[in-house]
Amino acid sequence: MKTDIEIAQSVHLQPITNVVEKLGIDFDDLELYGKYKAKLTFDKIKAVEENAPGKLVLVTAINPTPAGEGKSTITIGLADALNKIGKKTMIAIREPSLGPVMGIKGGAAGGGYAQVLPMEDINLHFTGDMHAITTANNALSALIDNHLHQGNELGIDQRRIIWKRVVDLNDRALRHVTVGLGSPVNGIPREDGFDITVASEIMAILCLATDMEDLKERLANIVIGYRFDRSPVYVRDLEVQGALALILKEAIKPNLVQTIYGTPAFVHGGPFANIAHGCNSVLATSTALRLADYTITEAGFGADLGAEKFLDIKTPNLPTSPDAVVIVATIRALKMNGGVAKDALNQENVEAVKAGFANLARHVENMRKYGVPVVVAINEFITDTENEIAILRDLCAAIDVPVALASVWANGADGGLDLAETLVKTIDSTPANYKRLYDNNLTIEEKITKIAREIYRADKVIFEKKAKTQIAQMVKNDWDNLPICMAKTQYSFSDDPKLLGAPTGFDITIRELVPKLGAGFIVALTGNVMTMPGLPKTPAALNMDVAADGTALGLF
Amino acid sequence: MKTDIEIAQSVHLQPITNVVEKLGIDFDDLELYGKYKAKLTFDKIKAVEENAPGKLVLVTAINPTPAGEGKSTITIGLADALNKIGKKTMIAIREPSLGPVMGIKGGAAGGGYAQVLPMEDINLHFTGDMHAITTANNALSALIDNHLHQGNELGIDQRRIIWKRVVDLNDRALRHVTVGLGSPVNGIPREDGFDITVASEIMAILCLATDMEDLKERLANIVIGYRFDRSPVYVRDLEVQGALALILKEAIKPNLVQTIYGTPAFVHGGPFANIAHGCNSVLATSTALRLADYTITEAGFGADLGAEKFLDIKTPNLPTSPDAVVIVATIRALKMNGGVAKDALNQENVEAVKAGFANLARHVENMRKYGVPVVVAINEFITDTENEIAILRDLCAAIDVPVALASVWANGADGGLDLAETLVKTIDSTPANYKRLYDNNLTIEEKITKIAREIYRADKVIFEKKAKTQIAQMVKNDWDNLPICMAKTQYSFSDDPKLLGAPTGFDITIRELVPKLGAGFIVALTGNVMTMPGLPKTPAALNMDVAADGTALGLF
């Protein structure tokens, strides 16, 4: 069997200029990065702003399991299939971080015959967006430390700086550091830490900004820490939002690439789906909507985290709301949700499919609360049995949700035709009537409680003392009318990663809140969220190489 | 008067594809980064390898002073003038670091009407080379710390790791840090520090590598630290040279841009000129030599540091050696070398020109030791007087060195015609007979002493105890047949920055030696060398902004 990189390197790519011609994009609308990657110019983004948006399809999933669901693969394969049945379709998905690439074998550009290409570039430096974000983030850190060193005119309390540095690598040794050591000429000593770049608030900002002015405004609003009197210090107090925006002036432009089947794809931005909202950029999705009849986009993790945030945080910034939500599941993952261990997944287990279906059913119900029609996509595996598939079809019928099998990993566009047709039929027959889950004018406690009860199905929310103090402070700072970005385990509806399926009878505990004024939301943490991964005992880097002619080897 | 960025933005750029057509470079030989920047493909680099090299001209300078010499400006203007008089000419210069851009107003892409463009891009992210180097450097750090954390099979002594992290920013707070703090899951606590990216050994390696295999070999040879028994640990012991080369696979390809006058220029690589060799990449210079009749290149700082390293470290990796050396000076800088204070430079002072000429004369004499003809270029300033220029011409005549005035900053190509003609005449009439200053088979002490006595004119070299111990260790490790890379103040021939002119009667003290086995040289430190600059009280970042349409504002 061919590996992903072997499949990718066997494809004859078209120049990106040809791929986007059918969307009405000319050579002069592009800033090429090699022959197969390009950024779209601001002029073109502006020029199509008045176009009526096409249909928007959000791809999400059940709670992730170690069995794997293949959400990106389905997103890409579905778009390829839609193009094949004559619908002018674009993809808008996230770009991967280099950190995990060096750590664990496995890319983030789809898989098998459903990939965006050139996958080596997309998984390495791509068009430099991550590097620009890293640089802007760390320039701000350097400017903060320089401000302290040069006399601290703003009276920043160095113990209460919440802005951390970042690198786009998995590097556990940088999680907790002390800086400014060694001598008075080396600045003011203080504790600090590094997150991975995708966890930077600047990544979330880049993905929510609607244009350059909005970007600058959001950067200016970042809270970097507090004064000795606990009043907040903003980037605008340091007057460096212009410089940060300048560093990001290319990164904000959406990147264009192609799938194996030549479907044009925006691959742009990639914030975390726990401490941030987990979706590709608003600019990419908005522009795709104005260029194509169908835009297929994706949200991080399961629907309880990613889709909730897509619908409550990202959608209000888009020119339209989703016309359908596709929920991806696999028979294997349903079985895991039904209690089967990973090493027993290859055996038929109809009862486990039934039990695990509770997880899928609850996500379907949740998505319907937003007034959007739902389609279930089953990402086929060779180990799926006829009996298992039959019971799943029955269960879907019972809750009246259309279901389609997809084998895009193995069969590419052809493997997605059923799903594409089911989706088009659903959209054509069931008009969406989008509404948000909560009103931003509710209190912070009310908003969190609404998400926890209606999406997670918790009995109640427990706010720890620290969280209560922080909420009071946020009310005082007039920050309480922002949406909530929940940071919770992706593995369960609850805040306990071990409670699979559709748990009930649990509480959600809010330990801490973090203001992300630039992104425009308040993060509510239910536990410790890992914002800097580590490398495994045998990092994937050990297998990597490059041939004398520059060909990437051993990447995936 | 127009600023550099105003001049730059007023120029109508040609597509880079048109600029390089006359060199025989087609669209398919390029990897475009937007319309005005490109990387040259490996295939094209290989395809021209058999071409006979053209003439090579090295531009260097007297010891730098706060008055400014304008070496890059002369390099660019000279090339423009050579093209104007019908010589097919290319430029090969270094690319700037983002760190200083954020700190102190002033770019590194020439100035006035002698600039490489687009200067905003070149001074910001350009084609991402710096980011790739940062990432490769820090991936190695993460892999080292992960190795310690996962059991330390190689037995690395965490107190003796010499490999540091880097950022491409001026950030004094990162000079000295502790990492791995907070909990056992965060790795092994140890002291570390960050250099600026251009100080990374990987930058030096990228600039000396002749192809991908050589790059990998050099990466494998990096010494990252020592075991408890003091034996060295190499990157090859960690088996990650393949991954590091993969991260650098685009960065190693030379970048093509144009000057205001459409002269094609390689702008590629930019190592420090103290702890590294301070020249653009071997690949860029070699390829320029094979594409053009004249290649104008540049070395860092004054001729005692930059040109010495160009001639002793870089040249042996080139297909040819310099046909001429241009030494840049200004009347103002000569006056400073003659004892005049910065605030008195606007007054005529013929005696000071005479006194300061000693500095220039010694550099001329030094360069002649390499068997290469020398031309003096005087970068004109409006404050230069006729008497000052007359005496300078007399002094140059007395030591038989051709001299030409150049006003390329104000007048572009026209301002460089005299210099171009003087240079061509010199090359045509005086064949070069290049020889290195020292043989690599001399001992480390002998090589250092040779540089110190013949170039700096020191009486003797004092090796401190630490340096002696390190030399003994290097002999034991079989590292003593490498060339020497001197790290010394750029402001003086001596190791005391206050001794201007042509000092005598001083000693050079070697405090420490650092093995750079990947780069392939031993660094000899005469004092503390700053490898991480800080930001000033009012950083240039405060003036930067970007317009709604993406235009850079306030950059320079």
B314 is catalytic: no
Cβ contact, residue pair B246, A124, below 8 Å:
yes
Reported ipTM: the value is 0.95
Distance (Å) from the alpha carbon of A295 to chain B's nearest alpha carbon: 26
Q: Cα angle at B180 between B179 and B182, to 5 degrees? A: 115
Q: Would strands B194-196 and B223-227 be described as parallel, antiparallel, or unpaired?
A: unpaired
Question: A180: which chain B residues are within 8 Å (Cβ-Cβ)?
Answer: 172-173, 176
A42: nearest CB among B32, B216, B550? B550
pLDDT band at B105 (very low <50, low <70, confident <90, very high): low
- Is A71 annotated to bind a ligand? Reply is yes
Q: Point out the residues of A that are catalytic.
A: 71, 73, 94, 105, 273, 301, 381, 409
pLDDT band at B555 (very low <50, low <70, confident <90, very high): confident
Asked if the model's pLDDT at residue B365 lies above 80, the reply is yes
- Determine the pLDDT at residue B5: 85
Q: Would strands B38-40 and B255-259 be described as parallel, antiparallel, or unpaired?
A: antiparallel
pLDDT digits (tens, 9 = 90+) for B399-440: 999 999 999 999 999 999 999 999 999 999 999 999 999 999
Interface test with A, best of B17, B164, B172, B194 (most A CBs within 10 A): B172
Which residue from B286, B278, B297 is spatially nearest to B210, judged by alpha carbons?
Answer: B286
- Is A512 annotated to bind a ligand? Reply is no
Interface test with A, best of B174, B236, B283, B551 (most A CBs within 10 A): B174
- Is A65 annotated to bind a ligand? Reply is yes
Cβ contact, residue pair A34, B31, below 8 Å:
yes
Asked if the model's pLDDT at residue B72 lies above 70, the reply is yes
Cβ contact, residue pair A169, B139, below 8 Å:
yes
Cβ contact, residue pair B541, A243, below 8 Å:
yes
pLDDT digits (tens, 9 = 90+) for B148-170: 999 999 999 999 999 999 999 99
Rg, Å, chain A Cα set: 23
Cβ contact, residue pair A181, B186, below 8 Å:
no
B301 is catalytic: yes
Q: Are A345 and A67 in contact (CB under 8 A)?
A: yes
Question: A139: which chain B residues are within 8 Å (Cβ-Cβ)?
Answer: 102, 169, 541
pLDDT band at B554 (very low <50, low <70, confident <90, very high): confident
Asked if the model's pLDDT at residue B68 lies above 80, the reply is no
Question: B250: which chain A residues are within 8 Å (Cβ-Cβ)?
Answer: 125
Distance (Å) from the alpha carbon of B106 to chain A's nearest alpha carbon: 15
Question: B145: which chain A residues are within 8 Å (Cβ-Cβ)?
Answer: 171-173
Cβ contact, residue pair B172, A187, below 8 Å:
yes
B310 is catalytic: no
What is the spatial order of strands in the sheet that A223-227 belongs to? A156-161, A223-227, A232-234
Chain A residue nearest residue B212, CA to CA: A548
* Average pLDDT along chain B: 96
Rg, Å, chain B Cα set: 23
Cβ contact, residue pair B172, A211, below 8 Å:
no
Dihedrals phi, psi of A186, to nearest 5 degrees: -95, 15
Q: Are A522 and A515 in contact (CB under 8 A)?
A: yes
Q: What is the largest CA-CA distance in chain A?
A: 72
What is the pLDDT averaged over residues B76-98?
97
Asked if the model's pLDDT at residue B331 lies above 80, the reply is yes
What is the spatial order of strands in the sheet that B177-179 belongs to? A190-192, A177-179, B177-179, B190-192
pLDDT digits (tens, 9 = 90+) for B291-328: 999 999 999 999 999 999 999 999 999 999 999 999 99
Distance (Å) from the alpha carbon of A391 to chain B's nearest alpha carbon: 44
Distance (Å) from the alpha carbon of B212 to chain A's nearest alpha carbon: 5
Which residue from B426, B441, B435 is spatially nearest to B327, judged by alpha carbons?
Answer: B426
Chain B residue nearest residue A150, CA to CA: B537
A168: nearest CB among B135, B187, B245? B135
Q: Under DSSP, is residue B298 helix (H, G, I), strand (E, B) or coil? A: strand
Structure tokens at A107: 């890319």
Query: Whole-prediction pTM value?
Result: 0.96
Q: How many CB pairs under 8 A join A and B?
A: 234
A138: nearest CB among B124, B149, B169? B169
Cβ contact, residue pair B188, A167, below 8 Å:
no
Chain B residue nearest residue A30, CA to CA: B34
Asked if the model's pLDDT at residue B106 lies above 80, the reply is no
Cβ contact, residue pair A125, B143, below 8 Å:
no
Distance (Å) from the alpha carbon of B130 to chain A's nearest alpha carbon: 10
Q: Are B279 and B208 in contact (CB under 8 A)?
A: no
Q: Are B549 and A160 in contact (CB under 8 A)?
A: no
From first to last of its 556 residues, what are the pLDDT tens digits of chain A?
Answer: 788 888 988 999 999 999 999 999 999 999 999 999 999 999 999 999 999 999 999 999 999 998 778 999 999 999 999 999 999 999 999 999 998 888 886 667 889 999 999 999 999 999 999 999 999 999 999 999 999 999 999 999 999 999 999 999 999 999 999 999 999 999 999 999 999 999 999 999 999 999 999 999 999 999 999 999 999 999 999 999 999 999 999 999 999 999 999 999 999 999 998 899 999 999 999 999 999 999 999 999 999 999 999 999 999 999 999 999 999 999 999 999 999 999 999 999 999 999 999 999 999 999 999 999 999 999 999 999 999 999 999 999 999 999 999 999 999 999 999 999 999 999 999 999 999 999 999 999 999 999 999 999 999 999 999 999 999 999 999 999 999 999 999 999 999 999 999 999 999 999 999 999 999 999 999 988 889 999 999 999 999 999 999 999 988 7
Cβ contact, residue pair A544, B243, below 8 Å:
yes
Can you tell me the distance from the alpha carbon of A455 to that of A508, in angstroms, rounded to the nearest whole number? 12
Domains of chain A, each with CATH number or no CATH: 4-127+251-429 (3.40.50.300), 129-245 (3.30.1510.10), 444-525 (3.10.410.10)
Distance (Å) from the alpha carbon of B43 to chain A's nearest alpha carbon: 8
pLDDT digits (tens, 9 = 90+) for B491-550: 999 999 999 999 999 999 999 999 999 999 999 999 888 899 999 999 999 999 999 999
Residues near A515 by Cβ (< 8 Å), separated by ≥ 6?
A223, A232, A474, A477, A479, A522, A523
